[in-house]
Structure 1
Amino acid sequence: MTLLYIKFYKTIRIAVCQVMVGAPACVSNLEELIALGAKKIFVCGECGVLDRTIDDAHLIISTSAVRDEGTSYRYLPVSDEVELDTYGIKVIEEVFKKEGLQYKKGKVWTTDAPYRETRKKMLQRKEQGCIAVEIECATLAAAAKFRGITFAQFVYACDNLDAEKWDQRGLTVRPVSKKVQTFELAMECAINL
């Protein structure tokens, strides 16, 4: 069962949880939240970048996700990608602009095999237009469409795959203060969704 924290953010009652990592586990959390009555789901997390010009901790709004995992196919018919809800994208963009934040919008690559993010595969995904890699977006977007709920996501850049050698950057050394700022930004997006 998903552990929920109910809190008020700017007088709005909101449920917050830390979901499990990986598409199958994360979508199980999503299904439980929907069963508990959730109609809108907002997710924020880390990603690897496929473009070295994207700075560490830079914000990325996911617009679509390449389906290189298996779980999304249990929710939607076979296709290479799943589009994210344009309303959710618009909400995140409005919050970022209001806060004066720099961001990128783009396609992400969802894989359930992070240790198989080979250079060849990374270059292939980059050619498809992906700017980042993560492990849940395609599945969550597919499940949200299947269940008829609103889903939106932003990620922030961590490690860099667009180099001769993997560059960890801020992946495991991000200061707590920066994570708190990102969490508060996610809360702002969530209450506007």
Structure 2
Amino acid sequence: MVTPPILDNKHASSPSVFVPSTLLREARRQKNIAAVQVPSVCLLDPDGDLVRVLRETGRAKPFAGWPCYHTELDTFLLAGQQVGIIGRVVGAPFAVLVAEELFASGCRLLVSLTSAGQILPSKTPPYFVIIDRALRDEGTSYHYATPSEFAEADPQMVKVAADAILETTLQAVVGSSWTTDAPFRETAEAIEAAREKGILAVEMEAAALYTFARIAGVRLLCLAHVTNTMGQTDDDFEKGEADGTRDALNMLGAVVGALLAY
């Protein structure tokens, strides 16, 4: 076998028959929802902690015009404007599905902040990684682009975000991640191979989101909150104060504000 069958019949340069605008149109019809634009800036919160805390403190409000079958969209004030946020968008297929729908609904900038496991110990967790490229060890990206080792971020967006963080006290670095569809198959051999490539963290969405963004020509940046060493120590998976939401919101505010300004 020269290539695995999963790579057959992808035809990355061909248009899709099924498009997000069609699904959203029918969802609006079935739910009797008017066609309205989502906020121009939206966030993905795979863990759901941000959405939970924002709701509990009364900062987030439901966005009634979001027709997605699978998720709920909330809005809150960040970097001086109303932004959208969707929680528990875990994994490459789900993240790209929601990203497609958001950009089809008026989103112009999407930022994802996901939890991640440490590969190379650049700092002591918890800290943030501005992901400049992601190892494509997931299946979704191959429906959008032909095989390659990494999916690359927009370098200017990475630079703007990194410069913005330098003006804060947040612990953050720029570097690469490993995107996997199977978190409980992070074997010692796979971890060592990622470490040899200089990869800082392992997560589940960035490679697919970056590949989609490049092909679709949209503005998208992935951040990782390195919170754990994959359960290899006691008291692992600690994000910090308020489940890390204070630092996460400060990080997102600085990054979003800078990206809107350039």
The TM-score with structure 1 as length reference comes to: 0.89
2:161 counterpart residue number:
92
Q: How does 1:67-86 map to 2 (within 5 A)?
A: 67-86=136-155
1:167 and 2:230 equivalent? no
Instruction: Give CA deviations for 1:144-171 in whole Å, capped at 9, x if unaligned.
Output: 111110111221211115xxx7236541
Q: What residue in structure 1 maps to residue 214 of structure 2?
A: 145
- Alpha-carbon distance change, 10 to 79 in structure 1, aligned in 2, over 3 angstroms: closer
Report the CA distance between 1:125 and its aligned residue.
0.9
Partner of 1:122: 191
Matches within 5 A, 1:32-71: 32-52=101-121, 54-71=123-140
Q: 1:98 to 1:40 in 2, by over 3 A?
A: same
CA separation in 2, counterparts of 1:91 and 1:53?
21
- Per-residue deviation, 1:3: 1.7
Cα separation, 2, equivalents of 1:158 and 1:181: 12
- Paired letter, 1:160: T
Counterpart-to-counterpart distance in 1, 2:182 and 2:174: 24
Deviates more, 1:142-151 or 1:2-11: 2-11
Moved more, 137-146 or 16-25: 16-25
Structure 2: distance between partners of 1:69 and 1:11: 36
Structure 1's 160 and 102: CA in aligned 2 closer, same or farther, altered over 3 A? Answer: same
Aligned match of 1:186 in 240, 244, 252? Answer: 252
**Greater per-residue strand proportion:** 1
Aligned residues: 190
Aligned counterpart, 2:100: 31
**Structure whose CA Rg is larger:** 2
Partners of 1:131 and 1:177 in 2: CA distance: 22
* 125 and 150 in structure 1: CA distance in 2 versus 1, 3 angstrom threshold: same
Match of 1:157 among 226, 239, 245: 226
Q: Using the alignment, how far apart are the partners of 1:23 and 1:150 within structure 2? A: 17
Q: Secondary structure at the match of 1:129?
A: coil
Change (3 A) 1:107 1:10: closer
Deviation for aligned residue 1:173? 6.4
Given candidates 162, 166, 172, the residue that maps to 1:103 is: 172
Distance 2:212 2:165 in 1: 26
Percent identity of equivalent pairs = 27
Whole-angstrom distance in 2 between the partners of 1:121 and 1:30? 28
Name structure 1 gaps, 5 residues minimum: none
Structure 1 residues 91 and 174, CA gap change in structure 2 (3 angstroms): same
Structure 2: distance between partners of 1:35 and 1:166 = 41
Cα deviation, 1:40-75, whole Å, max 9, x if unaligned, reads: 111112110112453111221111000000001111
Choose between structure 1 and 2 for higher RCO, CA contacts under 8 A separated by at least 6 residues. 1
Q: Is the 8 A contact 2:170 2:251 kept in 1?
A: no
- 1:93-129 CA-partner distances (Å, limit 9, x unpaired): 1221111333221110000000000111100111112
